[in-house]
Amino acid sequence: MKIAFRPKLLDCLATYDKAQFGKDLAAGITVGVLALPLAMAFAIASGVSPTAGIWTAIVAGFIIAALGGSRVQIGGPTGAFIPIVYGIVAVHGTANLLGATLLAGAMLLAMGLARLGRLIRFIPVTVVIGFTNGIAVVIFLAQIKDFFGLAIDNLPAEFFARIKVLAAHAHTVDLPTLALALACFFFLLFYNRLAQKLKLLQRAPGPLAVLLVGTLVAAIFDLPVATIGSRFNGIPQELPAFGLPAVSIHDIGKLISPAITIALLGAIESLLSARVADGQIDDRHDPNQELIAQGLANMAAPLFGGFAATGAIARTSTNARSGGRTPVAGMIHSLVLLAIVLLAAPLAAYVPLATLSAIVMVVAINMGEWHHFRELRRFSYNYRIILLATFFVTVLFDLTIAVELGMVLACLFFIYRMSELTRVKRLPLHEAADEPCFLYPDGTMRVAAWQLFGSLFFGAVNKLEALLDPAAGHPEIVILDMTQLIQLDTTGLEGLDNLLDKLKKRRCTLLICGLNTQPGSLLRRSGFIDHLGGENVCTDLTAALARATLLLPNLIGSEEDN
């Protein structure tokens, strides 16, 4: 297998010029400024330090842009990872989170090298909508603690335990924190409408404007609220220590399942983001190259203290709308974040956690595709069951279980639907009824013809039993017209083998006609045609009836001999 490694950056540099660099520079600065509050907010919501979020955006964002398969993809920490990362930290600790991220990166890299990028598209949209909306609910609930300023040391990752703890501490609401959070929440929620009326706001991304306003209000009025400085001692104004995560060899087995979850979600979200971006810039991404870059990014980020990263739909869309058209914009976005850390890190200590929680809550509301719930009545029961099951299992239990359940349900419903489309229909042989050799003395037919429609696979092979039903009579020749059979699997092949053997025991001859390419290939390769006899394979129904005319006198003679 030939492994293709060609980042989009190489294609873009061939025609790169100063004009495009100017557009990429402006877009990179815009997205870099937007990414700062989001990186810190997502990190804190995930149970790690804001520093880890920023360095994830810097390191992973640069690699995803430089080596990815999309022209405008912006990588970094995203809201979708919050419940997953928070759960890993709560159960396994921060060091093992970095180890799980590294393992997930290796899995993503292997998926890209194995050219599995297009397989991600096989996940049904119902499953994607279900877990996306479920993740949005989990993220929203996780922010209640900081939004209301509740006096909770450690919030459990499990849903029911989390609700119980939140309810038990509901009386500890901090009014200054709640007031600031509500103001920031509604300001950001209606920011776009305000920006249309105030030209000054149009130049600043909403999350950044809320971050600055919330921080200034808290500082000017000296509000007694928790800040990045009070909880995390600020953000170090230096490069992070480089090194492998301190993971014990005994813990690796426990990290495989979390790593699979990170890899699966990272692959889905990054390729969805790339597809959205394709529509904005009229381009086509390379899914396998994108997975390779995602894998390398997730392997590199933990070496700098970062955690799981993937393509960010909102930041990628902002990049495209701001004029970014090459990976250079994504690389500039990472360099902007690096400059902010090295020059202005001490100022981050004054950022209120209530402001960041408000930003994450708005992100959660915006990431959910809530209109699909309103439209459920328009779709089939299968659609509703898959979407709602995935949604509720994501919220109540675990994303991995939800995706697995959604896929299993989707496969079962697909099998049922395909089996319903597969039909075995008896053909009336009016033109043969006048042939004396085709009739028994009592007028019943000595020849029966059946047509197969659809796919003869493991979910529909039982429909061949109709050919052996005593009510169908006792023909001496059975013709199977396969002109409408488009697919045959090995279980269907076994069903045909059993049918042939049972018909032979009844001294009945089987003829088949109208073989399409795939069924014909399998029947020949398996030896079924040799077992049947090549002379009993006909081109069409007319040829099969002609073959039956030749066979019936011989069959009559055989009966008389007996």
Domain interval for residue 328: 23-218+248-386
With left for phi above 0 and alpha for psi between -120 and 50, is residue 273 left, alpha or beta? alpha
Say if residue 122 is in the same domain as residue 208.
Answer: yes
Q: 550 falls in which pLDDT band (50, 70, 90)? A: confident
Of 367, 386, 405, at which residue does a domain stop?
386
Indicate whether 138 pLDDT > 70: yes
Say if residue 66 is in the same domain as residue 158.
Answer: yes
Highest mean pLDDT among 124-133, 204-213, 297-306: 297-306
Per-residue pLDDT tens for 48-68? 999 999 999 999 999 999 999
Residue % of the chain over a pLDDT of 70 = 94
Say if residue 94 is in the same domain as residue 214.
Answer: yes
Asked if 148 and 178 count as a contact pair (C-beta separation under 8 A), the reply is yes
- Would 391 be classed as within a structural domain? no
The predicted structure's pLDDT at residue 429: 77
Say if residue 97 is in the same domain as residue 143.
Answer: yes
Cα angle: 171, vertex 175, 177; to 5 degrees = 110
| CA end-to-end span of the chain | 61
- Would 405 be classed as within a structural domain? no
Cα angle: 153, vertex 156, 161; to 5 degrees = 120
The predicted structure's pLDDT at residue 63: 97
Beta bridge partners of 453: 423, 484
Per-residue pLDDT tens for 379-438? 989 999 999 999 999 999 887 788 889 999 999 999 999 899 999 998 887 655 556 667
Give the CATH number, domain containing residue 476.
3.30.750.24
Cα angle: 152, vertex 158, 162; to 5 degrees = 35
Say if residue 27 is in the same domain as residue 108.
Answer: yes
Of 361, 386, 411, at which residue does a domain stop?
386
- Would 17 be classed as within a structural domain? no
Which residue has better confidence, 249 or 453? 453
Question: pTM of the prediction?
Answer: 0.81
Say if residue 427 is in the same domain as residue 375.
Answer: no
* Whole-number Å distance between alpha carbons of 353 and 229: 10
Say if residue 336 is in the same domain as residue 442.
Answer: no
Say if residue 174 is in the same domain as residue 312.
Answer: yes
The predicted structure's pLDDT at residue 562: 42
- Would 404 be classed as within a structural domain? no
Per-residue pLDDT tens for 315-371? 998 899 889 999 999 999 999 999 999 998 899 999 999 999 999 999 889 888 899
Amino acid at the residue 362: V
Whole-angstrom CA distances from 79 to 37, 44, 46 are 12, 11, 9
Say if residue 318 is in the same domain as residue 369.
Answer: yes
Q: Which residues lie below 8 Å from residue 550, measured CB to CB, with a gap of 6+?
A: none
Average pLDDT over residues 76-101: 92
The predicted structure's pLDDT at residue 436: 64
Please count the other Cβ atoms lying within 10 Å of the Cβ belonging to residue 133.
Answer: 23
- Would 395 be classed as within a structural domain? no
The predicted structure's pLDDT at residue 560: 45
Of 386, 410, 432, at which residue does a domain stop?
386
Indicate whether 314 pLDDT > 90: no
* Whole-number Å distance between alpha carbons of 285 and 67: 12
The predicted structure's pLDDT at residue 276: 85
Say if residue 540 is in the same domain as residue 483.
Answer: yes
Indicate whether 130 pLDDT > 80: yes
Indicate whether 173 pLDDT > 90: yes
Say if residue 125 is in the same domain as residue 201.
Answer: yes
Asked if 431 and 544 count as a contact pair (C-beta separation under 8 A), the reply is no
The DSSP 8-state label assigned to residue 210 in this structure reads H
Q: 561 falls in which pLDDT band (50, 70, 90)? A: very low
- Would 51 be classed as within a structural domain? yes
3-state secondary structure of 356: helix
* Whole-number Å distance between alpha carbons of 433 and 436: 8
Say if residue 359 is in the same domain as residue 447.
Answer: no
Per-residue pLDDT tens for 463-477? 998 888 877 677 889
Per-residue pLDDT tens for 181-229? 999 999 999 887 777 777 666 667 789 889 999 999 999 999 999 999 9
- Across the chain, mean pLDDT equals 89
Indicate whether 557 pLDDT > 60: no
- Would 206 be classed as within a structural domain? yes
- Would 14 be classed as within a structural domain? no
H-helix or E-strand spanning residue 100 = helix 94-113
The predicted structure's pLDDT at residue 3: 61
Give the chain's domain count: 2
Indicate whether 105 pLDDT > 50: yes
Which residue has better confidence, 552 or 555? 552
